[in-house]
Amino acid sequence: MKFNHTSFFNGYRSIYGKLSQLQVSGLDNLLGYIEIDNDVNDLRWAAYMLATVKHECADTFQPITEKGAKSYFDKYDAGTSLGKQLGNTVKGDGYTFRGRGYVQITGRANYQKMSTNLGLTGDDDLVLHPEYALHPNVAYRIMSYGMRMGSFTGKKLADYIKAGGADYRNARRIINGLDKTDLIKGYAVSFETVLTNSLIA
């Protein structure tokens, strides 16, 4: 899929108003990644991915780090029940492997799983360099893989957005149960319209 970026931004602004330079650069990056992602060939998948980022990253369209004082992450540390679920095995893992990205991955096991799935080895390994999950290109690849393959919750894009229609409300289950479903559904509907109107045939 290819999009006219000027048309895209004009359409987005007509719905949501002015954009900061940070938002513009973030959205432009995301649109570019979608255009070269051969595994995302349904415009509605792209719309839902963008809607998810709009919500998860507080309208910045930039990868973010989970907020909280260092002590907040102690509950995820090695030896705790939550830490065990996340595969945290070393003291300090709760903080080291805190949430990062467009769709925040959390825990040593999830960082390792994404490194393996995306073929990130050596100096690119997310366990060795968890901060790499904040690089827009890596953050996008994590999101695309996870949402397409069901890596986050077991639910995937194809479960809700397929030939028969787009269930943008229940698609939230791909990320986080039914949290803020109607809000994100509204974003997805808007993005679908904007993307459709800017699609280059």
pLDDT tens for each residue of 171-189: 999 998 888 999 999 999 9
* pTM for the model: 0.93
Q: Which domain holds residue 10?
A: 5-63+136-198
pLDDT beneath 70, residues of the chain:
none
Dist. CA 12–CA 143, nearest whole Å? 22
Dihedral of alpha carbons 51, 54, 56, 62, sign: positive
> 74 and 46 in one domain?
no
CB within 8 Å of 61: residues ≥ 6 apart: 22, 23, 26, 27, 29, 30, 53, 54
Measured distance between the N- and C-terminal CA atoms of the chain, rounded to whole angstroms = 8
Give the pLDDT score at 179. Answer: 86
- Out of 134, 161, 181, pick the residue that ends a domain: 134
Give me the number of domains the chain comprises: 2
> 72 and 58 in one domain?
no
> 144 and 103 in one domain?
no
- Out of 102, 118, 134, pick the residue that ends a domain: 134
